[in-house]
Structure 1
Amino acid sequence: MSQGSAEHLTIEPLSYHRALVAYLKAHEPEVWAWASAQKTRDDYQQQVRSELLRDTYRLEPDAHPDVYASLRLAMQRLGVEAPATLYQAGSQQMNASLVFVPGEIHVVLQGQILERLGEDERLALFGHEVAHYLLWLRDSGDYHVADRILCDALAARQASASHAETLRRYSLHTELFADRAGALAAQSVAAAVSTLVKVETGIANPDPAAYLRQATEIDSGRGKRSAARTHPENVVRARALDLWWRGEPELDEWVAEKLCGPLVLNALDLPDQLRLTAMTRGFLAYFLADASVRAEPLLNQARHLFPDWRDDEPAVTPAAFREARVDASVLDYLNALMLDLSLVDADTQDAALLRTYQVARELDSVEALQTNLKRDARLGRRELDKLKKKADTVVAA
């Protein structure tokens, strides 16, 4: 485990944060303008303070000087200046959270977290929580605005699965940002990792180096993306933190793989929806580029899907989908799309089915296509064999 100097490190919003803010500004300008104009009202701030005083025990600085000294040092190392108050909530499970009020730091502690953490671990804990405040104030509050838009969208009756997936990814990336701040505040990856393990497991004396070896071992298996909703799994957080601390050049790609994963049809966030729509359009152009299927009924179907369809649409090849790391659900979707086009016009159906089979080969999705052909095109074994032979003949030629 590398414990190099923290002097070369700074914490910046992650690529996903920036991309999501850019997406919302570009594609939801009215929503963004409205949300950006909303200010935190004085009565709301007073309500937050009242609820904290009612539901928790406020820790006074004079009674807990060491704890407040840790909090102030963490804030100093992160460049944050604001009045800060700590509270203890009535919960057995160790945890901590920031209640965001502009211009004020309010951190709520749960369980025996102060008793269980050492001095460096307290710095990591406070750095993590203060980071949420820091992120929400960055770039004129853009990242807080994005979070509010996503939360409001998910609470609405017309919320979609893509809203939920976008908020999930945004939240996971926010935790990685906060973990980095925790390590900077403690000036130690070991302290940040030890804090994660203690809070998660309750173990008294974890070995951070051993846990990082455990996280590295799991990472070597190149498993599926995180299934977490709000906080990544601890092994992902620890590994991400260590890679960042060591300056891993491909960290952004690693984080995207772990938190976002491949394109999955029923798990698209808002930017991926836009991306897949553009790729679908290009894929249709690629499919229809063959002279055998460039018939008016099929082109009309494309225009129905995309009213602004142009005759010179740029094509997206099957290779682009492989490079984009799409999963089987997207390939099934493309197969279904081609099959729908193939069945539009009886005069071009044979040529279109042949084209579909050929493109499915390029996508490595022939086996799944055959199931579609049996079910939707009502092709029997003889017709399927005939179609395969035609495709083989074209390849051989």
Structure 2
Amino acid sequence: MLNALDNLTRLISFDSVSKNSNEPISDYVSSLLEELNFEVERTTYMDARGVLKCNLLACRRPLSSHPKLDETQSSSASDEETSPKNAPGGLAYFCHTDTVTADRWTGPGGDPFSAIVLDGRVYGRGACDMKGSLVAFLDAARKTPHEEQKLPLWIACTADEEVGFEGARFLTENSNAYTELVAADPVSIIGEPTMLHVIHAHKGICGMQIRSQGHAAHSSTDMGVNANVAMVPMLQTLLEIHNRCLTDEALRNDAFDPPTLTWNFGVSDGMKTVNIVPDHSNAWASMRTMPGVDGKDIIEQVKRRADELGLTFTLYSGGDPMHTDAEAPFIREFCELASTYIGPNSPEAVCYATDACAFGQLQHRVVCGPGSISQAHTTDEFIEIEQLETGIRFYEDTIRRWCC
């Protein structure tokens, strides 16, 4: 098996931007997992554009174990620090193999899918978010002798995280291996870049679209119906919601920064000329939901106003916020393991969302990985080699703690 740096270079070479199929990179990762004695389950689906997408869920069982976990290895969905009966059943690692677009790449070398190693960094699309993290965990699994493993180790690689957690959602609904994983309820790491800081909570996301339909005509006549006319009062409602989100104490959670729903909205009629009456106008809105603040009343307000104005309302599938008790024993242990690498630390809450939104059945979720979120989605994305190496050692510690 190639070393971590070589593997990262190979993974970056796959153009797995979300609009494309992630089957080629999934094939490669599957071969790496099989080399490490993992049993690999693949689930596939066609996305809304008819593009094939792949999820992988692999499990490496202890050499002496039977095929299914018994009750003593399963969690009682409680974080009580008591007997092994109530301990999580092994360790699971979750990542995604898709990336955001690379159309505006400005990194060294000029090719986002040809990794460049420069000044202690690896540049390339996905280097930080989150192919570097996957490589680190694979290398950690390689360095943990299979014969020392006492509990199962899972690795999940999903599609379409960057476009609405579609792969993760499909996995939860169609994977037999995921059903087994849920029954075990292991400590579950979502390996997004956090500089190895321990994230116990993050916001969710909700999106909606409002469409106004008009009738196109030459602007010098009165034969058209300007779609923007009906949209203007809708925009006023969206603005009122924006102002309310900034000031209403009931819509705040001070564990986050910013502590608001961060309401965002926009509008476009797509017109590029002034002599045509716009025949359609589309507005959109999104908000970052939080534990205890789901924004359902806001969704109903927008839908009700759209109905009053004769507009079409569409609610998009998003994701629920993630929240794990910051005082949970396994969270405290995570912070202790991380202290070797980042010093004294406490569990944190962040405002971005991850695939954890779709994994609400798992009771021991935590987000923690190498690299900085400030590098995710940038036009010159990179991961520090030192972070990659540190991530390998940290992940090896977690595997030994919860599997050995």
Q: TM-score with structure 2 length normalisation?
A: 0.22
**Whose relative contact order is higher, 1 or 2, with alpha carbons under 8 Å and at least 6 apart?**
2
Rg: which structure is higher? Answer: 1
**Higher helix proportion (structure 1 or 2):** 1
TM-score, normalising length from structure 1?
A: 0.22
